[in-house]
Chain A
């Protein structure tokens, strides 16, 4: 997947393994995208993808980071963490599958919809994980492209 256009904007956000500040990166990403004049529907989808990814890092990992890259034709969000990693990726992509501890559910998270929702709001979604090492996700949302174009099609193809 060669980048079609050069990055107009790039920023790295560290994410702590800490519930209190979780969500801050996503609201910041939203503000940046809006200030760059990114289409509202793309901002909304990127905000959802970012929030879910940020919650996953904050709730389940030892911390990590989110990289936001804005290009002419797409917004990319790269999530990486320092573990523990996911043994069975197919399982976490199933709606409703959750390893959330009760305390997370009681805070309103951990319904097992995070990864499926990230995938549903992305046009391209790639996920790698190694147990003991960590997980990497690249979510791509195309601009000037209606939500229904979905799948792996670039706009205009």
Chain B
């Protein structure tokens, strides 16, 4: 799905990355905990849906080569964080929708969940 389409469906404000809106995000992953993002996301170009706005979110996305970040629940990162994301080329979107609705709408429009990466000694049933 094109980032532009994500922004449209979410009624999102584009905080940075206007020039990248025609790029595609491959899949989506929703979490507020960065540990989960670092532990679970396997491929590049994933859309991160999060309600966490600390500067580390953009750094995690950078390290994981993610496609874009969608901030939910009306949260906005600081100007410094937006500037950093613009510098490293990660588009940031912000919507007032709650994470549940953001996931629901994008999933219903065919955006697939990120492929997961199993940890070797994961607690609980395995795939």
Interface residues of A (CB under 8 A from B): 19-20, 22-24, 26-27, 30, 44, 47-48, 50-52, 55, 94-96, 105, 107-114, 116-117, 119-120
**A-B contact list, 24 entries, CB within 8 Å:** A23-B60, A23-B63, A24-B59, A27-B59, A27-B62, A27-B63, A44-B63, A44-B64, A51-B59, A51-B63, A52-B35, A95-B122, A95-B123, A105-B33, A107-B52, A109-B33, A111-B36, A112-B35, A113-B38, A114-B35, A116-B39, A116-B120, A117-B39, A120-B39
Out of A51, A113, A116, name the residue touching B60 (CB < 8 Å).
A51
Instruction: Tell me if B28 counts as interface (CB < 8 A to partner A).
Output: no
- Per the bound structure, the CA–CA distance linking A116 and B40 in Å amounts to 12
Cα-based distance from A26 to B88 in the complex (angstroms): 14
Please pick, from B38, B55, B119, B122, the residue contacting A51 in the complex, using a CB distance under 8 A.
B38
Contact A95 B38 (CB under 8 A): no
Assembly CA distance A50 to B63 (angstroms): 9
**A130 to B: closest C-beta gap in Å:** 25
Contacts of A116 in B (CB 8 A): 39, 119-121
Provided the pairs A19-B54, A52-B38, A113-B35 are in contact, do residues A120 and B63 lie with their beta carbons within 8 angstroms? no
Q: How far is the CA of A117 from the CA of B17 in the complex (A)?
A: 30
Total cross-chain contacts (CB, 8 A): 84
CB of B37, distance to nearest CB on chain A (Å): 9
**In the complex the two chains form, what is the Cα distance from A23 to B60 in whole Å?**
8
A108 touches B119 (CB 8 A): no
Q: Which has the most chain A C-beta neighbours within 10 Å: B32, B39, B54?
A: B39
CB distance from B44 to the nearest CB of A (A): 8
Give the docked Cα–Cα distance between A27 and B120 (Å): 26
CB distance from B54 to the nearest CB of A (A): 5
A50, A94, A111: which contacts B35 (Cβ < 8 A)?
A111
Contact for B123 among A26, A48, A94, CB less than 8 A:
A94
B65 at the interface (CB under 8 A from A): yes
Using known A-B contacts A47-B63, A108-B50, determine if residue A96 contacts B33 with beta carbons closer than 8 Å: no
Judged by a CB distance under 8 angstroms, whether B34 is at the interface is: yes
CB-CB < 8 A to B83: which residues of A?
none
A22, B56: Cβ atoms closer than 8 Å: yes
Say yes or no for B114: interface residue by CB 8 A criterion. no
Given contacts A116-B121, A117-B39, contact A30 B62 (CB under 8 A): yes
At the interface, yes or no: B57 with Cβ under 8 Å from chain A? yes
Q: Could you say which of A22, A23, A110, A119 has the most chain B C-beta atoms within 10 Å of its C-beta? A: A23
| Chain B residues within 8 Å of A109, by CB | 33-35, 56
**Chain A residues with CB below 8 A from B55, complex form:** 20, 23
